[in-house]
Structure 1
Amino acid sequence: MIKKNDLFEAEITAMTAEGSGICRADGMAVFVPGTAVGDRCVVRVVKVLKKYAFGRLEELLTPSPDRTTPDCPIAGPCGGCVYRHITYEAELKIKTQRVRDALERIGGFENIPMEPILGAPSRTRYRNKCQLPIGLSKNGEMQMGFYAVNSHRIIDTHTCLLQPEVFDRAAEAFRAWQKLSGESIYDEAAHSGVLRHLYMRCGEKSGEVLVCIVANGAKLHGEDLLVKMLREAVPEITGIVLNINRERTNVVLGRELRTLWGKPTIRDTLCRLEFEISPHAFYQVNRTQAEALYNKAAEYAGLTGAETLLDLYCGTGTIGLSMASRAKKLIGSEIIPSAVENARKNAAHNHVTNAEFLCGDAKDAARILYERGERPDVIVIDPPRKGCDAAVITTIAAMRPMRVVYVSCDPATLARDLKQFTAEDYNIEAVTPVDMFPCTAHVETVCQLVLRKPAVHINIDVDVEELVQDKRGTATYGQIKDYVLEHSGLKVSSLYIAQVKQKYGIIERENYNKTKSENVKQPQCPPEKEKAITEALKHFGMI
């Protein structure tokens, strides 16, 4: 049995979801960061658990054909870019296989209709958002960068190849200002000091830049000097704001903002729509790949202009609004009130007049649509990493949309949820992985689910008396029930159909569904079901 500090030779044969290579020693899986499939190497054991162990690359004996020279000096200590040491082609293969493995092993699916992964045009400088924690080094100087893997130890960073060069210039100007001003550094343990984070956003298309200083206080020493130095170093800057966060928390932003100069938002364009982005607003950090993902989602939605589109987990409305011009109506649903307000503002700003946004979860949206007699033809869902609750999937299936487009940020929870969708009468028609975050372990997936079609040939018992009652049009009770279920998601009884037919003068047999006891009162058809049955009667030409 292996133990800590053991050295052994091995070949890396696979990768974990977090981007570590996998080899074996004494029959136990050992996870080794910074390795590639095909590496022959010497590994040092650093931790042993009951069923697996962790190792460190000690010596590379024979490199994998996939290896390339890392172009970032801190890629290892930082831990953000787990694939910067291999080619992009190899990275895309790993991410594709990760999605396939999850669907096969967790979902139990075979013959998955997988389309090629949508790779990014660039592995560098693609992020439009940066949050740099600030702390004190051992010699008492400010350090700023990224947390090392699984820790709150800051790796001091002067450049990051995932972020635009303009952020580097702003960060260096901020460092120089801190030295001149002597502003204090926040200490997590003592909850003292001022500077907590440097937070930056930029618009890829607009070129606008926003710098936000997160502080444990409402004022900074030398605010005018800070504005002057940032504007000189970054001519593109359009706003400088102070975010006040006095809480003992790991949450980066506080609720209160104060503008030091310029405007507190930036603009950017996504899928031909313009969005105003505040420090608190959600916006995809890789705009170019977000467009690729949204375009694929729109393709899977298959909108023709006649459909009602429901966008669940809509956030600030970006996915739904990108498809609104192709739909008859867009309804977005989101449980966070501020996000709903942002979505409404985004719709108004872009002159989208066929959209409404509801504050609530999937059940709330379903109830409102049900009460209004509406049914979504297509539903788009983009849930958080934990995926959908089982009750949400049941609610979606009860609404009977013809298509569901599932946008996922975690292959494991996607596979789990797709298993329930297929049990709820949906088929997986297409799956496309999307590389939104090159060099990192993350992979997005877009999946198209289609409602199984009812049988074309149905055996029915024909009631001659029903067929001769009215010459305007005919339909059996079974056909009416099927139509109502398909178009409104409601199940109706023969009694309710009879009541509506009687209301419109379509004569029923006197003894149809009549109770044996004269004292028993028959239930009356609810208004929403009466409306659905009426639509069915119109469809079949009976009224």
Structure 2
Amino acid sequence: MIKKNDLFEAEITAMTAEGSGICRADGMAVFVPGTAVGDRCVVRVVKVLKKYAFGRLEELLTPSPDRTTPDCPIAGPCGGCVYRHITYEAELKIKTQRVRDALERIGGFENIPMEPILGAPSRTRYRNKCQLPIGLSKNGEMQMGFYAVNSHRIIDTHTCLLQPEVFDRAAEAFRAWQKLSGESIYDEAAHSGVLRHLYMRCGEKSGEVLVCIVANGAKLHGEDLLVKMLREAVPEITGIVLNINRERTNVVLGRELRTLWGKPTIRDTLCRLEFEISPHAFYQVNRTQAEALYNKAAEYAGLTGAETLLDLYCGTGTIGLSMASRAKKLIGAEIIPAAVENARKNAAHNHVTNAEFLCGDAKDAARILYERGERPDVIVIDPPRKGCDAAVISTIAAMRPTRVVYVSCDPATLARDLKQFTAEDYNIEAVTPVDMFPGTAHVETVCLLSKLKSTQHIEVELDMDELDLTDAEKKATYQEIKNYVLEHCGLKVSNLYIAQVKQKCGIIERENYNKPKSEDARQPQCPPEKEKAIKEALKHFGMI
């Protein structure tokens, strides 16, 4: 059995989702950062857990053919770019395989209709947003850069190859100003000092630049000097703002902004639409690849001008608005009020007249559409990293759109959610990975789902109360309960039997669920052995 500080020779055979190489020692998987598939190396064990271990590259014996010379001196300690030591072709293969592995292993899918990954035209200078934490070095001087992996230790950085060169110039001018002004540095532990973050945004098409200083206070020493030095170093700059964040928090931005010079927003163009971007507003970090992703999503949506398009998790409306000209009507739904207001402003600014935006979750949107007699033909979803709640997927299925376009930022939660969609009679038609963040471990995916066609169907009237699921019901679908009972007890159970047992356990409270149509009608009752098996499933899923 391996133990900490053991040395062993091994070959890297695969990669983790986080970008570490995988090798084996004494039958145990060992994860080694900074390695590549095909590397023959000496590894030192740094941590051993029950089923796997972590290692450090001690010596490279035979390099992988995928290796290349890293172009960034701090790629290792920074940890943001896990793939700068391999070719871009190798990186794209790894990301494609990551999506495929998740769909196969987590989703249980075979013969996946995978299209080629959409690679980026450049691995460098593609980010239009940067937030640099500020701290004190051991010698008492200001340092500014990025947090080291799994820590709040700042790696002092004077240039980052993921960000435009204009950010480097602005950061150097800010450093020079701090030395001249003597403005204090924020101490996270003591909650004292002023300067917390330097936050910058730029418009790739417009060329506009916004510099935002995040401070533990409402005023800076030498504000006029700061404005002068930034404007001299960055002629492209269009706005300088102070963000006031006095909270003990890891959240970068506070709520209050004060403009020191220029305007507090920038503008940029995405899919022929112009967006006004404030420090708080969401905007895709890689504009060029965002256009590639949105174009693929629009291709999958297959709009002809006759459809009602529902954009769930719409945020500030960018995806839906990019497709609005191809739809009869666009309806966006988002739970964050400020994002909904931004989406409405974006629609008005771009003269999009066939769009409306609702503030609420998926169930709220479904209820409003149902009460108005509207049914979306196509639904686009772009959920957060945690994916969709089971109740949201059930709601989407109940609305019966002909196509669902799922935009995902995490292959694992995508695979989990696609499994439920297929249980709800949707078929995976196409999957395309998109490399939005070259050099990093992240990969986006666009997936097209279509409603399965059947020669037989049953017309049902949807009671919107059925969309108001209890907390217990959100934990497992009927199909998941059926699968569990069949796998563990060898019994087949119906939705009716599951509903009867749920009612006995106090889960379902809606009076009309599976109620006979007449008082004299007789329903088959769940046999005792099946009731016992269903209760075991409910316990397994934490529903009782």
Fold shared, TM-score > 0.5 on shorter chain: yes
The question of whether the paired residues in 2 share the 8 Å contact of 1:177 and 1:226 is answered with: yes
Against the structure 1 CA distance between its residues 252 and 503, is the aligned structure 2 distance closer, same or farther, given a 3 Å change threshold?
closer
How high is the sequence identity, in percent, across the aligned residues?
94
Give, in whole Å, the separation in 1 of the partners of 2:173 and 2:475: 79
Q: Deviations over 1:199-252 (max 9, x none)?
A: 000000000000000000000000000000000000000000000000000000
TM-score by length of 2: 0.85
The question of whether the paired residues in 2 share the 8 Å contact of 1:473 and 1:540 is answered with: no
The question of whether the paired residues in 1 share the 8 Å contact of 2:379 and 2:401 is answered with: yes
> 3-state SS of the aligned residue for 2:473?
coil
Compute the displacement of 1:4 (Å).
Answer: 1.1
> 3-state SS of the aligned residue for 2:475?
coil
Against the structure 1 CA distance between its residues 168 and 470, is the aligned structure 2 distance closer, same or farther, given a 3 Å change threshold?
closer
Compute the displacement of 1:454 (Å).
Answer: 2.1
The question of whether the paired residues in 2 share the 8 Å contact of 1:127 and 1:285 is answered with: yes
The question of whether the paired residues in 1 share the 8 Å contact of 2:15 and 2:21 is answered with: yes
Against the structure 1 CA distance between its residues 518 and 408, is the aligned structure 2 distance closer, same or farther, given a 3 Å change threshold?
closer
Matched, 1:163 2:170: no
The question of whether the paired residues in 2 share the 8 Å contact of 1:466 and 1:476 is answered with: no
Q: Deviations over 1:412-459 (max 9, x none)?
A: 000000000000010000000000000000000000000011218999
The question of whether the paired residues in 1 share the 8 Å contact of 2:390 and 2:474 is answered with: no
Against the structure 1 CA distance between its residues 504 and 29, is the aligned structure 2 distance closer, same or farther, given a 3 Å change threshold?
closer
User: Which piece of structure 1 moves more, 474-483 or 44-53?
Assistant: 474-483
Give, in whole Å, the separation in 1 of the partners of 2:198 and 2:477: 68
Compute the displacement of 1:409 (Å).
Answer: 0.2
The question of whether the paired residues in 2 share the 8 Å contact of 1:78 and 1:155 is answered with: yes
Against the structure 1 CA distance between its residues 527 and 370, is the aligned structure 2 distance closer, same or farther, given a 3 Å change threshold?
farther
Q: Deviations over 1:375-410 (max 9, x none)?
A: 000000000000000000000000000000000000
Compute the displacement of 1:5 (Å).
Answer: 1.0
The question of whether the paired residues in 1 share the 8 Å contact of 2:389 and 2:474 is answered with: no
Compute the displacement of 1:538 (Å).
Answer: 49
Query: For residue 526 of structure 1, what is the aligned residue in structure 2?
Result: 527
Against the structure 1 CA distance between its residues 533 and 433, is the aligned structure 2 distance closer, same or farther, given a 3 Å change threshold?
closer
Matches within 5 A, 1:304-319: 304-319=304-319
The question of whether the paired residues in 2 share the 8 Å contact of 1:400 and 1:489 is answered with: no
Equivalent residue pairs, number = 543
Q: Deviations over 1:464-513 (max 9, x none)?
A: 99999999999999999999999999999999999999999999999999
User: Which piece of structure 1 moves more, 453-462 or 168-177?
Assistant: 453-462
Against the structure 1 CA distance between its residues 444 and 458, is the aligned structure 2 distance closer, same or farther, given a 3 Å change threshold?
closer
Q: Deviations over 1:81-135 (max 9, x none)?
A: 0000000000000000000000000000000000000000000000000000000
**Gaps (5+ residues) in structure 2?**
none
Against the structure 1 CA distance between its residues 508 and 437, is the aligned structure 2 distance closer, same or farther, given a 3 Å change threshold?
closer
User: Which piece of structure 1 moves more, 413-422 or 46-55?
Assistant: 46-55
The question of whether the paired residues in 2 share the 8 Å contact of 1:462 and 1:476 is answered with: no
Give, in whole Å, the separation in 1 of the partners of 2:112 and 2:177: 55
Query: For residue 461 of structure 1, what is the aligned residue in structure 2?
Result: 461
User: Which piece of structure 1 moves more, 471-480 or 180-189?
Assistant: 471-480
Against the structure 1 CA distance between its residues 501 and 352, is the aligned structure 2 distance closer, same or farther, given a 3 Å change threshold?
farther
Matches within 5 A, 1:503-522: none
Q: Deviations over 1:234-273 (max 9, x none)?
A: 0000000000000000000000000000000000000000
The question of whether the paired residues in 2 share the 8 Å contact of 1:409 and 1:443 is answered with: yes
> 3-state SS of the aligned residue for 1:536?
helix
Give, in whole Å, the separation in 1 of the partners of 2:260 and 2:470: 79
Against the structure 1 CA distance between its residues 486 and 285, is the aligned structure 2 distance closer, same or farther, given a 3 Å change threshold?
farther
Give, in whole Å, the separation in 1 of the partners of 2:258 and 2:69: 44
Against the structure 1 CA distance between its residues 370 and 480, is the aligned structure 2 distance closer, same or farther, given a 3 Å change threshold?
farther
Compute the displacement of 1:528 (Å).
Answer: 41
The question of whether the paired residues in 2 share the 8 Å contact of 1:399 and 1:488 is answered with: no
The structure with more radius of gyration: 1
Give, in whole Å, the separation in 2 of the partners of 1:158 and 1:461: 62
The question of whether the paired residues in 1 share the 8 Å contact of 2:429 and 2:450 is answered with: yes
Q: Deviations over 1:292-321 (max 9, x none)?
A: 000000000000000000000000000000
The question of whether the paired residues in 1 share the 8 Å contact of 2:472 and 2:507 is answered with: no
User: Which piece of structure 1 moves more, 447-456 or 129-138?
Assistant: 447-456
The question of whether the paired residues in 1 share the 8 Å contact of 2:308 and 2:375 is answered with: yes
Compute the displacement of 1:542 (Å).
Answer: 47
> 3-state SS of the aligned residue for 1:473?
helix
The question of whether the paired residues in 2 share the 8 Å contact of 1:310 and 1:380 is answered with: yes
Against the structure 1 CA distance between its residues 322 and 270, is the aligned structure 2 distance closer, same or farther, given a 3 Å change threshold?
same
Against the structure 1 CA distance between its residues 369 and 484, is the aligned structure 2 distance closer, same or farther, given a 3 Å change threshold?
farther
Give, in whole Å, the separation in 2 of the partners of 1:74 and 1:502: 59
Against the structure 1 CA distance between its residues 503 and 345, is the aligned structure 2 distance closer, same or farther, given a 3 Å change threshold?
farther
Against the structure 1 CA distance between its residues 420 and 521, is the aligned structure 2 distance closer, same or farther, given a 3 Å change threshold?
closer
Q: CA RMSD in A?
A: 11.4
Query: For residue 347 of structure 1, what is the aligned residue in structure 2?
Result: 347
The question of whether the paired residues in 2 share the 8 Å contact of 1:66 and 1:87 is answered with: yes
Against the structure 1 CA distance between its residues 302 and 491, is the aligned structure 2 distance closer, same or farther, given a 3 Å change threshold?
farther
User: Which piece of structure 1 moves more, 513-522 or 157-166?
Assistant: 513-522
The question of whether the paired residues in 2 share the 8 Å contact of 1:393 and 1:421 is answered with: yes
Matched, 1:442 2:411: no
Query: For residue 65 of structure 2, what is the aligned residue in structure 1?
Result: 65
Against the structure 1 CA distance between its residues 369 and 513, is the aligned structure 2 distance closer, same or farther, given a 3 Å change threshold?
closer
Against the structure 1 CA distance between its residues 4 and 356, is the aligned structure 2 distance closer, same or farther, given a 3 Å change threshold?
same
The question of whether the paired residues in 2 share the 8 Å contact of 1:183 and 1:220 is answered with: yes
Give, in whole Å, the separation in 1 of the partners of 2:349 and 2:143: 40
Give, in whole Å, the separation in 1 of the partners of 2:69 and 2:474: 75
User: Which piece of structure 1 moves more, 449-458 or 150-159?
Assistant: 449-458
Give, in whole Å, the separation in 2 of the partners of 1:466 and 1:249: 39
The question of whether the paired residues in 1 share the 8 Å contact of 2:29 and 2:52 is answered with: yes
Q: Deviations over 1:347-391 (max 9, x none)?
A: 000000000000000000000000000000000000000000000
